[in-house]
Chain A
Amino acid sequence: MIVARTGNEAMAEAMRQINPDVVAAYPITPATEVVQLFSKFVHDGQVDTQFVPAESEHSAISACVGASSTGARVMTSTASQGIALMHEILFIASGLRLPIVICLVNRALSSPINIHCDHSDSLASRDSGWIQIFTENTQEAYDTTIIAVKVAEAASLPAMVTTDGFIISHGMERVELVDDEAVPKFLGERKIQHSLLDVDNPKTFGALDLQDYFFEHKRSEIDAMDHVLPIIEKVQDEYGKLSGRHYPLVDEYRMDDAEVAILCMGSTGGTGKVAVERLREQGKKVGLVRCRVYRPFPKEAMVAALAKAKVVGVLDRSDTMSTLGGHLYNDARSILYDSDMRPHLKNYVYGLGGRDISIEDIESIYKELFAIQKTGKVDKDIVYFGVRGE
């Protein structure tokens, strides 16, 4: 079925089709609609979900942990201050290996307070042991929400799927939906080793784990992360067969003969692709790499993509506040260290607090990258793009 949907509507629609056992959530701009629409599905009897309208995000994610421990399929949605408030429990969810899925709408973290898009909220929870997938558009947000549930359950790890606040969450686009009946069939039942409700085989969840065992348990969690990429590829492949839409770990756009490229995440991928087309019409060999799966980091696929270009502009909608630039830039530099093919890298931190980035902006970045290609020198490695007085 082809429909017109905003990112929030598309994610809520995916949740309706998934029909989770439990949703516990709390509203926050720009993710509020996901929760609102889902509440309506509950009250209209369109889903069987036990809905827990929690009194805070901290309690919402805490309830998700409790519910997921029973063996239930559990989802929630939030943004910005909401995921910041959940922060403590994110690590507990992954440590307990609970496949909770968050529909996360990216919004800047306060202060200053702001409601618009940047990636500081997802990236502040980067190291929490959650799978993170950034989507480019409404269609991808819908598809990835369904994919994430299956991936999380197969990996026994929680996952967050992100959209760019307002840009995608509130932008109406054409979306092709999978049939209602196909989604539960695609997902199957959640399989678990131990349910908290198994009173005949009582288990202790969340024991105090000291010097003599903690490290082994953490190591096994890291090991689980090590196995996620093949799981994502497999599930994406299955989903491709179902929907006709095939997603990669790393989205390469016209990279085969690209001399200069940009690397980015989220909706900027879409804007950037238009810029690529315009420049290609002028005969310029430009390409784009979009990091779709961000955690775990698809190192091999990313090195292979980046190594094709001579110069890469890394666009970060976040800053690490470390004087080292944005998150993606640091990841890119790190994975290229051992590579024989090392393109020049320049970091463009852009769009904080929702400042728009246009096709022309990206064209101007490509122009700079060509200049770097010519001189073979990166004048300034980290720039703050579009900031007054820069």
Chain B
Amino acid sequence: MAKLKELAAQKEKFVGGHRGCAGCGAAIVARQVLMAAENPVVVGAATGCLEVFSTIYPYSAWNVPYIHNAFENVAATMAGVEAGYRALKAKGKVKKDLRFIAFAGDGGTYDIGLQALSGMIERRHRVLYVCYNNEAYMNTGIQRSSATPRGAHTTTSPAGKVVPGKLQLRKNLTEIVIAHEPAYAAQATFAYWNDLVTKVRKALDADGPSFINVYAPCRLGWAYAPEKTVKVSKLSVETCIWPLYEYENGTYRISVKPKEKKPITEFLNMQGRFGHLFNWKDDVPVKEYQAEVDFIWERLLKRSEAAG
């Protein structure tokens, strides 16, 4: 269990002064993940909001070695970094015990970067891949991704007169990753900072590829007031929209079980991206989204019960 005081006393590895929006969830993810790391780390980031707002030359928010290559290839890039490390370590040119973390948004992970991620895990590179999931392509102006939920308004799934936002459900990427049998996989979000820090430590200790899908509310794309970010993060867990669980050695474990499962409308009505659903002619989009959430949650309960 991490102690808040100890974490707070650390030298910051991801510093303020960057150009992220006030209340940006992605920035909190980067900071919390790096806080959790006990060994020295080398970081890679995919093109996206986090990369853009943290490294505008000649400034950098990263107090750790950092590389950005392109949008779809952070997994391959960090696989290469890890391979270079292994080679140089074997030759005695690097002495320290390092860890490697790849950051990418949902676009860089669920969509364009999925193949590289799959390859990285299959080849068993010891890299922690963190997807900061803000459920759309924010950097390019809020376009839909395969992580965007049913009904959400984005600029390529707009709330129109005949189509109320996105028609499809979210891709369950965490399960796709789990099908690769990584050394460790989990879902997290920063409102539950202790859960997140614990998971990052487990992932970095695992001798193999690991993956954490971190729910990262985006005040701009989700259209809510900046001070609500942590509240939105918390509600995603309380509504079971973003279940906190982990997968290790063939077993599922729900790490935070909400006392009472709230209806998703409590989460939806806080955010402008779902606003149109409340004036829509029927409740089909909301119902479909709720059904998806229920299905995944029930299945998760069964899987974690089966594990005991």
Residues of A within 8 A of B (CB): 21-22, 24, 48-50, 52-56, 58-60, 62-72, 74, 88-89, 92, 196-199, 202-210, 213
Please tell me if the beta carbons of A24 and B83 are within 8 angstroms of each other in the complex. yes
Residues of B within 8 A of A (CB): 40-42, 44, 51-52, 55-58, 60, 62-70, 72-73, 75-88, 90-91, 93-94, 96, 98, 115-116, 118-119, 122-123
For A72, what are the chain B residues with a Cβ–Cβ distance below 8 Å?
Answer: 83-84, 87-88
14 additional A-B pairs beyond A67-B83, A206-B55, A213-B58, beta carbons within 8 Å, are: A21-B91, A48-B87, A52-B83, A54-B119, A66-B44, A66-B78, A66-B80, A67-B81, A70-B94, A197-B81, A197-B85, A197-B88, A199-B41, A209-B57
Docked Cα-Cα span, A209 to B51, in Å, equals 12
For B40, what are the chain A residues with a Cβ–Cβ distance below 8 Å?
Answer: 199
Residue in A60, A199, A204 whose beta carbon sits within 8 Å of that of B96 in the complex:
A199
Docked Cα-Cα span, A57 to B245, in Å, equals 34
Residue in A63, A205, A207 whose beta carbon sits within 8 Å of that of B56 in the complex:
A207
Docked Cα-Cα span, A56 to B119, in Å, equals 9
Say yes or no: A203-B65 contact (C-beta < 8 A), given A70-B81, A197-B84. Answer: yes
Please tell me if the beta carbons of B64 and A196 are within 8 angstroms of each other in the complex. no
Residue in B67, B72, B93 whose beta carbon sits within 8 Å of that of A69 in the complex:
B67
Residue in A21, A55, A66, A89 whose beta carbon sits within 8 Å of that of B88 in the complex:
A21
Docked Cα-Cα span, A65 to B58, in Å, equals 21
Docked Cα-Cα span, A221 to B93, in Å, equals 28
Please tell me if the beta carbons of B87 and A22 are within 8 angstroms of each other in the complex. yes
Residue in B68, B80, B88, B91 whose beta carbon sits within 8 Å of that of A63 in the complex:
B80
Interface on chain B toward A: helix, strand, loop, or mixed SS?
A: mixed
Shortest Cβ distance from residue B79 to the other chain A in the assembled complex, whole angstroms: 5
Please tell me if the beta carbons of A71 and B93 are within 8 angstroms of each other in the complex. yes
Shortest Cβ distance from residue B48 to the other chain A in the assembled complex, whole angstroms: 11
For B63, what are the chain A residues with a Cβ–Cβ distance below 8 Å?
Answer: 202
Shortest Cβ distance from residue B155 to the other chain A in the assembled complex, whole angstroms: 22
For A204, what are the chain B residues with a Cβ–Cβ distance below 8 Å?
Answer: 55, 60, 62, 66
Shortest Cβ distance from residue A188 to the other chain B in the assembled complex, whole angstroms: 14
Shortest Cβ distance from residue A211 to the other chain B in the assembled complex, whole angstroms: 11
Please tell me if the beta carbons of B119 and A196 are within 8 angstroms of each other in the complex. no
Closest 5 CB pairs of A and B: A66-B80, A63-B80, A70-B84, A55-B119, A59-B76
Please tell me if the beta carbons of B84 and A71 are within 8 angstroms of each other in the complex. yes
13 contacts between A and B (CB under 8 A): A21-B84, A22-B80, A48-B87, A50-B84, A62-B116, A67-B80, A71-B93, A92-B70, A197-B65, A199-B41, A202-B66, A205-B65, A207-B55
Most buried by A among B67, B70, B75, B122: B67
Docked Cα-Cα span, A110 to B79, in Å, equals 30
Residue in B60, B70, B96, B115 whose beta carbon sits within 8 Å of that of A55 in the complex:
B115
Docked Cα-Cα span, A209 to B58, in Å, equals 8
Identify the closest chain A residue to B90 (Cβ): A48
Docked Cα-Cα span, A369 to B67, in Å, equals 54
Say yes or no: A70-B88 contact (C-beta < 8 A), given A52-B83, A199-B64, A204-B62. Answer: yes
Please tell me if the beta carbons of A55 and B116 are within 8 angstroms of each other in the complex. yes
For B75, what are the chain A residues with a Cβ–Cβ distance below 8 Å?
Answer: 59
Please tell me if the beta carbons of A62 and B57 are within 8 angstroms of each other in the complex. no
Docked Cα-Cα span, A52 to B80, in Å, equals 8
Docked Cα-Cα span, A67 to B76, in Å, equals 10
Please tell me if the beta carbons of B88 and A56 are within 8 angstroms of each other in the complex. no
For A197, what are the chain B residues with a Cβ–Cβ distance below 8 Å?
Answer: 42, 65, 81, 84-85, 88, 94, 98
Identify the closest chain A residue to B40 (Cβ): A199
For A203, what are the chain B residues with a Cβ–Cβ distance below 8 Å?
Answer: 65-66
For B93, what are the chain A residues with a Cβ–Cβ distance below 8 Å?
Answer: 71
Docked Cα-Cα span, A48 to B122, in Å, equals 22
Please tell me if the beta carbons of B98 and A210 are within 8 angstroms of each other in the complex. no
For B82, what are the chain A residues with a Cβ–Cβ distance below 8 Å?
Answer: 66
Shortest Cβ distance from residue A380 to the other chain B in the assembled complex, whole angstroms: 44
Say yes or no: A66-B51 contact (C-beta < 8 A), given A50-B86, A197-B88, A209-B57. Answer: no
Please tell me if the beta carbons of A199 and B123 are within 8 angstroms of each other in the complex. no
Please tell me if the beta carbons of B83 and A50 are within 8 angstroms of each other in the complex. yes
Identify the closest chain B residue to A21 (Cβ): B87
Please tell me if the beta carbons of A22 and B51 are within 8 angstroms of each other in the complex. no
Docked Cα-Cα span, A58 to B79, in Å, equals 13
Say yes or no: A65-B119 contact (C-beta < 8 A), given A70-B81, A208-B51. Answer: no
Docked Cα-Cα span, A72 to B91, in Å, equals 11
For A24, what are the chain B residues with a Cβ–Cβ distance below 8 Å?
Answer: 76, 79-80, 83
For A48, what are the chain B residues with a Cβ–Cβ distance below 8 Å?
Answer: 87, 90-91
Shortest Cβ distance from residue B139 to the other chain A in the assembled complex, whole angstroms: 11
Say yes or no: A62-B123 contact (C-beta < 8 A), given A72-B87, A204-B62. Answer: no
For B70, what are the chain A residues with a Cβ–Cβ distance below 8 Å?
Answer: 62, 88-89, 92
Say yes or no: A71-B88 contact (C-beta < 8 A), given A204-B55, A213-B57. Answer: yes
Please tell me if the beta carbons of B55 and A66 are within 8 angstroms of each other in the complex. no
Please tell me if the beta carbons of B87 and A50 are within 8 angstroms of each other in the complex. yes
Shortest Cβ distance from residue B124 to the other chain A in the assembled complex, whole angstroms: 11
Residue in B42, B52, B58, B79 whose beta carbon sits within 8 Å of that of A52 in the complex:
B79
Most buried by A among B42, B84, B88: B84
Docked Cα-Cα span, A58 to B83, in Å, equals 17
For A60, what are the chain B residues with a Cβ–Cβ distance below 8 Å?
Answer: 76
Please tell me if the beta carbons of B73 and A62 are within 8 angstroms of each other in the complex. yes
Shortest Cβ distance from residue A209 to the other chain B in the assembled complex, whole angstroms: 5
Shortest Cβ distance from residue B53 to the other chain A in the assembled complex, whole angstroms: 9
Please tell me if the beta carbons of B77 and A65 are within 8 angstroms of each other in the complex. yes
Most buried by B among A24, A66, A70, A205: A66
Shortest Cβ distance from residue B72 to the other chain A in the assembled complex, whole angstroms: 7
Please tell me if the beta carbons of B98 and A199 are within 8 angstroms of each other in the complex. yes
Docked Cα-Cα span, A314 to B88, in Å, equals 46
Identify the closest chain B residue to A52 (Cβ): B83
For A67, what are the chain B residues with a Cβ–Cβ distance below 8 Å?
Answer: 80-81, 83-84, 87
Say yes or no: A22-B84 contact (C-beta < 8 A), given A55-B119, A62-B73. Answer: yes
Docked Cα-Cα span, A21 to B88, in Å, equals 7
Docked Cα-Cα span, A196 to B70, in Å, equals 16
Most buried by B among A21, A70, A72: A70
Please tell me if the beta carbons of A66 and B69 are within 8 angstroms of each other in the complex. yes
Identify the closest chain A residue to B125 (Cβ): A52
Please tell me if the beta carbons of B84 and A207 are within 8 angstroms of each other in the complex. no
Shortest Cβ distance from residue B180 to the other chain A in the assembled complex, whole angstroms: 12
For A66, what are the chain B residues with a Cβ–Cβ distance below 8 Å?
Answer: 44, 67, 69, 76-84
